[in-house]
Amino acid sequence: MKNERLFEALSARARSESPPSVDVAGRVIAILNAEQNRIEQLTEKPLLWLAAASSALAVPAVVVAIIVYNASTGPLYEISQAIAWVAQ
């Protein structure tokens, strides 16, 4: 088959071709560093949101706790507790 023989001969010839020289080291490292930063940011973000949400919940809980504590340790509450004990 003549076509195939020519194809093979051209292929053999093409094998000795030298490609253009490239130096991609700097760009590859830059891409990998950018990718690394992106991944770090992605993993940090959910933690930041979690911290913010738990702080937002914690603040009113602490306020309520202080109010309840103050109410339960007032003089009127102590008198009512003493009456209840005597009544028993």
Partner 1 sequence: MFLSILPGRIVSLRAERLLVEFVYSLMDSEFVAEDRQKTNASLAAELEDVRLSRRGDSDAYTRLIKQHQSQVSRMLWRFSRDPLVHEELVQDVFVEAYLSLGSYREKAPFGHWLSRIATRIGYRYWKQIARRGETESFSLAEWDELPGKSTDDIDPGRAAEMLHRLLAQLRPRDRLVLTLRYLEGCDVAETARRTGWTKSLVKVQSRRARKRLEKLFAQAGKGLRG
Is residue 56 part of the contact set for partner 1 (CB under 8 A)?
A: no
CA distance 53 to 23: 48
Please, which of residues 16-55 interact with partner 1 by CB under 8 A? 16-25, 27-29, 31-33, 35
Two tokens at 4? 């195939």
CA dist., res. 74 & res. 42, Å (int):
50
- Among the listed ranges 14-22, 53-61, 65-73, 77-85, the one in contact with partner 1 (CB under 8 A) is 14-22
Residues lying near partner 1 in the complex (CB under 8 A) are found at 1-4, 6-25, 27-29, 31-33, 35
